Amino acid sequence: MTALPPVVDADTWRSELEELRRREKAATKELDAIAAQRRRLPMVRMPEYVLEGEDGPIRLVDVFDGASQLIVYNHMWFDDEEWQCPGCTGFTSQFTRLEFLKPYDARFVIVTQGPIDQALEYKRRVGNRMSWYSTANSDFGADVDAPSGGGFALNVFLRDGDTVYRTWHTNGRGVEQVSHTFPLIDLLPYGRREEWQDSPEGWPRVPTYSGWASSQDIAAAYGPGD
């Protein structure tokens, strides 16, 4: 190892841990307050979009599959590319068991700008377990800040009968809050090792994104040939 944390006695270690714990608890309370504010956000009524699913055209309201709440991950898509965004591919590969959302009257799906046949083939190739829908023939993606050729996004919707409302949106690092990968990595003494990270002098550093799995890596680990 090129660098190690200082070695101290157990009492000193526990004292410094408790100091950190106070900040961690304050952050938890702040996240609770943010969630409370999120629950008080107003919402906007959505048009009656029609997407493409595995079984053909499907209204956005029917994507809820009877639930009242819907989380949508807008997966980046680039036409004529064999391998799509590794960040999106890796992020969505985490979600293999989503049944826990059912008691909360919610569903979590992927929507992409790619044609549905290509999207489903990509899903199969990388071993993705989520439900995929295409907005290639709809303005839905652009209207929820995930236009064709644009970035990824996370959107949440609420259904009241046949009327759908948009309640929340984030992108960029805001999506990390529903990931388990980075929170686990951030627990490690060396963290993500990426060059932007605030670390002690001598800590290992690598270029940003260089530790991320490629889409090919995800396919090898989870795809049909795993």
Write the DSSP string, 52-82: EETTEEEEHHHHTTT-SEEEEEEE---TT-S
| Per-residue pLDDT at 225 | 65
The answer to the question of residue 21 being in a domain is no
The answer to the question of residue 141 being in a domain is yes
| Per-residue pLDDT at 174 | 94
The answer to the question of residue 183 being in a domain is no
| Per-residue pLDDT at 150 | 78
Comparing CA positions, the residue from 186, 210, 188, 190 lying closest to residue 199 is: 190
Supply the range of the domain harboring residue 169: 44-176
CATH code of the domain containing 124: 3.40.30.10
Contacts of 218 (CB under 8 A, 6+ apart): 86, 89, 90, 93, 126, 127
| Per-residue pLDDT at 80 | 87
Amino acid at 198: D
The answer to the question of residue 213 being in a domain is no
| Per-residue pLDDT at 1 | 58
List of the chain residues with pLDDT < 70: 1, 225-226
- pTM score: 0.94
Question: Would you say 112 and 135 are in contact if contact means Cβ atoms under 8 Å apart?
Answer: yes
The secondary structure element, H or E, covering residue 159 is: strand 153-160
| Per-residue pLDDT at 156 | 98
| Per-residue pLDDT at 21 | 98
Total structural domains in the chain?
A: 1
Tell me the per-residue pLDDT of 90-142, one tens digit each, with 9 for 90 and over: 999 999 999 999 999 999 999 999 999 999 999 999 999 999 999 999 999 99
The answer to the question of residue 137 being in a domain is yes
End-to-end CA distance of the chain: 33
The answer to the question of residue 95 being in a domain is yes
The answer to the question of residue 219 being in a domain is no
| Per-residue pLDDT at 148 | 85
Instruction: State the average pLDDT for the chain.
Output: 95
Comparing CA positions, the residue from 32, 119, 47, 35 lying closest to residue 81 is: 119
The answer to the question of residue 117 being in a domain is yes
| Per-residue pLDDT at 226 | 53
